[in-house]
Chain A
């Protein structure tokens, strides 16, 4: 079963490797919206996300021969998009891990109430999170990376990833509960 998932769109991928522009376009159509949303959640701006998507697809098609079905094509492509988004944030000097002063604010919300389970409020709350917190919440809860993968993506230790995630989550709950 897992093998089948890994080989999803194999024909399109193989034709794209051979340089077939039509297959490349079909792959692009299948993934562009998902990747655009991944990027916009990371960089926070539509224009920046468009740049990231464009660069990511160009790189993906150029490096497609290095794709060996060790994961799904979507996961492989998403990792490119995430890395490009992180690089974009670094270029813009936006912190990808939270600043220390937020830690002090977190201590004020330690004994918080049960979180409000409202997806619209949560979406709004994530957007209100400081830079760094929104990225780690996105990577863990929405993109589905574990702390080992997040540590690699952000260039931090696994324990830092865990502690930052917990702080971010507390902050998010505090924000959502006020909305």
Chain B
């Protein structure tokens, strides 16, 4: 430490040259110390803030939960519809393929007649595929499901009619034989 520094340190008391209004500042300090309202207000404000935050969180949680439940319900509903569709599909598909086989194996029909009939079946197949697509787009599922069933029923009915027509003349001839 050099002389300059030592000189300043030795005379540092002379830097305390200012006087303050004791009472004015004390009154302000005392008022502040006696009214811890700022703290309690702050705390109240904090409580309000915490409460508001909690409310917002609960609200947000409820909304998320509501959407989750809706989603779950929607998904389970979708699953039920899909299951229903699969069951119907399996049942009617088997029935239709069985009857189509009957038509194909039938010896009384000409290949052209078979071809014409089966092309008609293909048209109904197309209609069925369109309905199935619509089903995945979640339109009016109940209505579409009904349309799919009708599509199958129409095919079965047509095949049954065809098979009936093929078999009817044969039966009448047999009966005639017996009459004669």
Residues of A within 8 A of B (CB): 21, 24-25, 28-29, 32-34, 36-37, 40-41, 46, 49-50, 53-54, 57-58, 61-62, 115, 117, 119, 122-123, 141-142, 144, 169, 173
| Residues in B neighbouring A117, C-beta threshold 8 A | 3-4, 7
Q: B7, B15, B25: which has the most chain A beta carbons within 10 Å?
A: B15
Complex CA–CA separation, A58 to B19 (angstroms):
19
Asked if B165 is at the interface (CB within 8 A of a chain A CB), the reply is no
Complex CA–CA separation, A173 to B3 (angstroms):
12
Chain B: interface size category: 20 to 34
| Residues in A neighbouring B175, C-beta threshold 8 A | none
| Residues in B neighbouring A61, C-beta threshold 8 A | 29, 33
Asked if A25 and B15 sit within 8 Å, CB to CB, the answer is no
| Residues in B neighbouring A37, C-beta threshold 8 A | 15-18
A83 to chain B, nearest CB (A): 18
| Residues in A neighbouring B17, C-beta threshold 8 A | 37, 123
Contact of A54 among B3, B11, B25 (CB under 8 A): B25
User: Which 9 residue pairs spanning A and B have beta carbons closest together?
Assistant: A36-B20, A37-B16, A115-B4, A141-B8, A119-B11, A117-B7, A142-B12, A57-B29, A58-B32
Known: A115-B4, A141-B9. A54 touches B19 (CB 8 A): no
Asked if B14 is at the interface (CB within 8 A of a chain A CB), the reply is yes
| Residues in B neighbouring A62, C-beta threshold 8 A | 33
B123 to chain A, nearest CB (A): 84
Interface CB pairs A-B, < 8 A, 9: A32-B25, A33-B16, A36-B18, A61-B33, A115-B4, A117-B4, A119-B14, A141-B8, A144-B9
Asked if A29 and B20 sit within 8 Å, CB to CB, the answer is no
Asked if B14 and A28 sit within 8 Å, CB to CB, the answer is no
Complex CA–CA separation, A142 to B14 (angstroms):
10
Residue of B nearest to A60 (CB): B29
Complex CA–CA separation, A36 to B30 (angstroms):
17
Asked if A58 and B29 sit within 8 Å, CB to CB, the answer is yes
Known: A37-B15, A122-B8, A169-B4. A50 touches B29 (CB 8 A): no
| Residues in B neighbouring A57, C-beta threshold 8 A | 25, 29
Complex CA–CA separation, A49 to B21 (angstroms):
12
Residues of chain B in range 129-168 having any CB-CB distance to chain A below 8 Å: none
B60 to chain A, nearest CB (A): 36
Known: A58-B32, A58-B33, A141-B5. A25 touches B26 (CB 8 A): yes
